């Protein structure tokens, strides 16, 4: 399991949302040893496969495999089995898959991949209230997020991915051992891009995040190393 106290400085996870291997290698060279974690999502995993994960692990990185699994319980557990040889620290699945699927996955992880923390994804940050209602959920988004997070935790899932604005509520409602991972991070002077529900790295730290997923503020910076250094500086205060 990922061992991280909620009151310590959050680790940065660099989202490798890039077009090809060369771009990935370039940004890793530039950001160097100060970066411990990287996120491999569907875009890169489906293109590069398991080889990318092995290579990144061999280069000393911890890996957050963001595949957001969502299927029937048996298929989700079998998907985890297919991933179990991989040297990753965290894997995402949708909490909306329901209690049976979550319980099967957490049992599988406990028994077979105890060093991997499963993270429940609640309501995607791209979903607004209208979008939620379109799929039949009338409750406020915040309530649905809490409901799904609680469901995941009750079934033994070790962490939750949430927007920074949801951090205070989840940190308060969930056991302190639960890992909270948040995207939507923007340093004060950075371009917000398509992210709307954002916080600065320091605000997210104070709100209780264990890990900050950051992509474009580092990837699109003229000097990615300087961008990373300045975020780390902000977090160390």
Binding site for ligand C5P (CB under 6 A): 15, 17, 41, 124-125, 161, 183-184, 193, 195, 213-217
Tokens 């890793």: give the residue: 28
Q: To the nearest whole angstrom, how small is the minimum distance from the Cβ of residue 212 to ligand C5P? A: 9
Q: To the nearest whole angstrom, how small is the minimum distance from the Cβ of residue 111 to ligand C5P? A: 28
Which of 2, 199 has the CB closer to ligand C5P? 199
Closest CA to 113 of 81, 149, 74: 81
Q: Is 138 a catalytic residue?
A: no
Tokens 């890996």: give the residue: 63
Q: Which of 4, 30, 68, 225 is catalytic?
A: 68
What is the enclosing helix (H) or strand (E) of 38? strand 37-41
Distance CA 92, CA 120 (A): 6
Q: To the nearest whole angstrom, how small is the minimum distance from the Cβ of residue 112 to ligand C5P? A: 26
8 A C-beta contact, residue 88 and residue 63: yes
184: left (phi over 0), alpha (psi -120 to 50) or beta: left
Please report how the helices 21-31 and 50-58 are oriented relative to each other, as an axis angle in degrees rounded to 10: 20
Which of 30, 110 has the CB closer to ligand C5P? 30
Residues 6+ apart with CB under 8 A from 77: 101, 104, 105, 107, 108
Which of 179, 195 has the CB closer to ligand C5P? 195
Q: Which residue has its beta carbon closest to ligand C5P?
A: 215
Which of 183, 208 has the CB closer to ligand C5P? 183
Q: To the nearest whole angstrom, how small is the minimum distance from the Cβ of residue 161 to ligand C5P? A: 6
Give the residue numbers marked as catalytic: 68
């Amino acid at each position: 399991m990922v061992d991280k106290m909620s009151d310590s400085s959050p680790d940065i996870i660099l989202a490798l949302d890039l077009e090809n291997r060369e771009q990935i290698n370039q940004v890793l060279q530039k950001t160097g040893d100060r970066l411990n974690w990287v996120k491999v999502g569907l875009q890169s995993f489906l293109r590069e496969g398991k080889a990318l994960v092995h290579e990144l692990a061999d280069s000393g990185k911890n890996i957050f495999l963001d595949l957001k699994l969502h299927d029937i319980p048996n298929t989700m557990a079998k998907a985890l089995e297919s991933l179990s040889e991989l040297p990753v620290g965290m894997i995402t699945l949708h909490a909306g898959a329901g209690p049976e699927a979550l319980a099967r996955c957490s049992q599988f992880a406990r028994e077979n991949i105890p060093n991997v923390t499963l993270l429940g994804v609640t309501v995607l940050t791209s979903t607004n209230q209208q979008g939620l209602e379109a799929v039949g959920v009338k409750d406020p988004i915040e309530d649905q997020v809490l409901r799904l997070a609680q469901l995941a935790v009750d079934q033994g899932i070790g962490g939750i991915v949430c927007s920074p604005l949801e951090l205070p509520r989840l940190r308060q409602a969930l056991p302190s051992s639960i890992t909270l991972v948040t995207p939507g991070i923007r340093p004060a002077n950075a371009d917000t891009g398509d992210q709307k529900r954002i916080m600065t790295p320091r605000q997210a730290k104070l709100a209780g995040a264990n890990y900050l997923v950051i992509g474009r503020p580092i990837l699109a910076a003229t000097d990615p190393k300087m961008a990373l250094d300045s975020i780390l500086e902000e977090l160390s205060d």
